[in-house]
Chains A and B, each alone.
Chain A
C-alpha cells in the first residue's frame, strides 16, 4: 500500500527554507516557555515553519486563547492536544487567518502577520483541513482534489473559454497532479463521483488529498482522525508520516486520540483554558504532572482500549 507520492520539483521547499534568515527569528519566543528545553527544540538558526507569538483571542469576554506561544520547526509533526474548548481549533483558525487575534502575531515562512491573509494562505504554502468536512459536495472527487491547485492557475477566464495554450497546459498539469494524489490516497474507485454521498472516511481522505496536492510547506489538520475506525486511523497515520518523510512537510495537527498523537508526533503542545500548559516530546508530555492533572489522566481512562 506504500505508494510513492508524486515527486515534484523540490524547488519550492528549498526556496522556503532559505527565507527569513536575516530577520529576527521567531524562535526566540520559545525561551519564554515554562517547559524545559527539549531535545528536538528547533535551534535558533533555522527559522520556524510556523511561529505563534503571544496570541490572545476572546469572543465577547470569553477567553479562547491567552498569550499562546508556539514554534514549529520545518519538517516537524506537532500535535496540539487539550480538553474540549481548550482553544485548539481557535489557534488553527488564527494561524489560517479565519480569526483575527486580539493581540500577538503569526509567523509563516518568514513573514509576520497580525492577521494571516486567508486569501493568500495557499500562496504562502499553507494548506489545512477542517474539523467538520469542508468539501465541495457538488463536485466530483477529482474536481475537489484538483481545486486544491486553484491558487496556482494563471490563465484568465477568457483563456479558459477559448482554450489557450496556457489554459490547456495548466488544465493538463492540474489533472495529472490530481490523478497522482488520487492514486496515492487510493481514491481511484471514487474518482468521478460527487463527494456528497461518499462514506465519511473516504471524504476525509479527499480533503487531505485536496490539501496536499498543492504540496504545502505547512499542513494544518484539525482532528483528521475524528470519527474514523481503528483501521482507517492506522492508514491515515501512515499517510501523514509518509507525507512528512518524503517532502519534509511541516504538519500541525489537533487530535484527541492520545494513542495516535503519542505515536505520530515529534512534539506535543498542550492547551488548557486557552493557555499553553506544556510543550515537549511525547515522553515529556506523558510524564508531565500538570498535563496529567489537566488532561491526560482523564482522557486516557476515557479512551481506554485504543492503546498507544
Chain B
C-alpha cells in the first residue's frame, strides 16, 4: 500500500488558520477600509451588484453544488424575494425592513419548495427542465397580475429608499454596507450548515443517493430542505439586488439570462464551495467592465455596446468551456493552489494518485 503523498496534517495545519485569517482580513477591508476610500462608482457599479450576485450564487451552490440538483430557475426566486419584500413594506408598513427581508426569504423558500417537488422524481436534465417552469411561471405571474407591482402602469416599480431602524441607508456606501452585512450573516449561516451533519447529508445525496438512503439519510426531506434553503438565500439576494443595487423592480430583470448568469457563477467559481460563489460573482461582475475598457483601448470607436455584449458572451462561453475541461473545481481550486503555494507535482499526485 503506497502511503499518502500528502500528509493530512499539512492541510489542516496550514490550510485552516490561513482561511480564517484570510476571511478576517477581507472583512476588515470590506467593512473598515473600503467605505473610507471607495468612490460611488466602485460601490454602485461593482461591489453592491457583486454582493447580491455572490449571495445568489451561494444559494444556488447549496442546491447544485452541495446537493447535486441542477436548477435553471434561480432568478425566479430572486424575483419572488424582491417582490415579496416590496409588497411587505408596501402593505405592512409597520414591519421593520429587516423582518421584511427575512419574510421575503421565507416566501421565496416556500415557492422553492413547491418547485422542488419534481426533484423527488426527476434527476439531472429532466429536473433542470422542470425548474425552467419556475422561471417562466414566476415571470408570467408578475407580468400578468398588477397587484404584485401595485398597479404600476409600466410594470416597473421604484422601491422605497432603504431605511433600517430609522437610519437612512440610501447613499452608495450605506447600501453597500447594508448588503455586506446581510451577505456576511447569510454566508455565516450557510457555512455553519455545510459544516454540520446536515451538510454531510446534502453531499451524501449528491454523491450516492442509494447509499445515502441505506445509511438512514432522509433523501426526500434533504432534497426539499436544499430547495427551501437555496431559495431562501436566493430570495434574500433578490431583495439586495432590487433594494440596494437597482432600486427598481421589473419582471424582465429576473429573466432566464440572470438564471444562467448565476449558474455560471457557480460553475466558474467552483461547485460545493462557499468562496467559489464569491470568486465566480467577482469574475462575472468585473469581467464585462474590464472587457469594455480593453475593447475601447484596442479598437476605439469600433467597440460599441453591441460588440461588447457579443464579445462578452463569446469570451464567457469560452471561459466556461475552459473551466469545465481544465479545472472543473473552478476558481476556488485555483485559489487553493495559489494560496497554499504547493509544488505542482505534489498537487497532481493528490488529484490523480
Contact = CB atoms under 8 A, between A and B. Distances in A.
Given A192-B12, A214-B215, 15 more contacts: A119-B218, A122-B215, A127-B215, A130-B210, A130-B211, A136-B203, A137-B207, A139-B207, A147-B215, A160-B192, A160-B197, A161-B189, A189-B4, A192-B8, A197-B351
B6 A193 contact: yes
A38 interface: no
Contacts of B272: 138
Nearest to B195: A160
A198 B349 CA distance: 11
Contacts of B213: 118-119, 121
Given A122-B214, A147-B200, A160-B196, A138 B12 contact: no
Interface in B269-296: 272
Contacts of B212: 136, 147
A139 to B, nearest CB: 5
A199 B8 contact: no
* Chain B CB within 10 Å, residue with most, of A150, A170, A174, A191: A150
Contacts of B352: 197
B20 interface: no
The 3 closest A-B pairs by CB, nearest first: A151-B216, A122-B216, A134-B211
Contacts of B14: none
A161 B198 CA distance: 9
Contacts of B218: 119
A201 B8 CA distance: 19
Interface of A: 96, 98, 118-123, 127-128, 130, 134-139, 143, 146-148, 150-153, 155, 157, 160-161, 163, 167, 170-171, 174, 189-193, 197-199, 201-202, 210, 214
B353 interface: yes
A138 B207 contact: yes
B8 A191 contact: yes
A190 B203 contact: no
Contact of A199 (B2, B6, B11): B2
B200 A190 contact: no
Interface in B111-165: none
A150 B12 contact: no
A70 B200 CA distance: 36
Contacts of B231: none
Given A137-B207, A189-B4, A193-B6, A118 B214 contact: yes
B352 to A, nearest CB: 7
What DSSP secondary structure best describes chain B's contact surface?
helix
Contacts of B353: 197-199
A123 to B, nearest CB: 7
Contacts of B189: 161
Contacts, number: 112
Interface of B: 1-4, 6-8, 11-12, 189, 192-193, 196-198, 200-201, 203-204, 206-208, 210-219, 225, 272, 350-353
B350 to A, nearest CB: 7
Contacts of B217: 147, 150
A118 B215 CA distance: 9
A193 B8 contact: yes
B203 A201 contact: no
B6 A210 contact: no
Nearest to A146: B200
A71 B304 CA distance: 78
24 contacts: A96-B214, A118-B214, A122-B216, A136-B212, A138-B203, A139-B204, A139-B207, A143-B200, A143-B203, A147-B200, A147-B212, A150-B197, A150-B204, A150-B217, A153-B197, A155-B197, A160-B198, A161-B193, A171-B196, A171-B197, A189-B8, A190-B4, A202-B1, A210-B215
Contacts of B225: 157
Contacts of B12: 192
Nearest to B197: A153
B204 A147 contact: yes
Contacts of A98: 210
A60 B31 CA distance: 64
A202 B1 CA distance: 9
Contact of A161 (B192, B201, B203): B192
